[in-house]
Amino acid sequence: MSTILPEEEIDRLTKPRTQRAAQTRYLEKLLGCKLARRPDGLPLVTPEMLARLNGGAEPVPDANNGLNWGA
């Protein structure tokens, strides 16, 4: 199970942005995907998402893309 980055880490990554909507837009553009958000607007980002950005992990294939990965 992935852990979610704490609020302080999100704030550090998105500095000088302080509004949650601006932080979310910045991270979505950086990561290239839509992010879920907490009720208070904090974007939900995992360490694995950042590792993929830095080339640290292979992207997980989407199971719903129509390809048969088991063949």
23-67 per-position pLDDT tens digit: 999 999 999 999 999 999 999 999 999 888 877 655 454 445 555
DSSP alpha helices (H): ranges in 1-71? 7-13, 20-31, 47-53
> Is residue 5 predicted with pLDDT exceeding 70?
yes
Hey, where are the domains in the chain? Answer: 7-53
Minimal CA–CA distance to 5: which of 19, 21, 23, 22? 23
How confident is the model at residue 52, as a pLDDT? 85
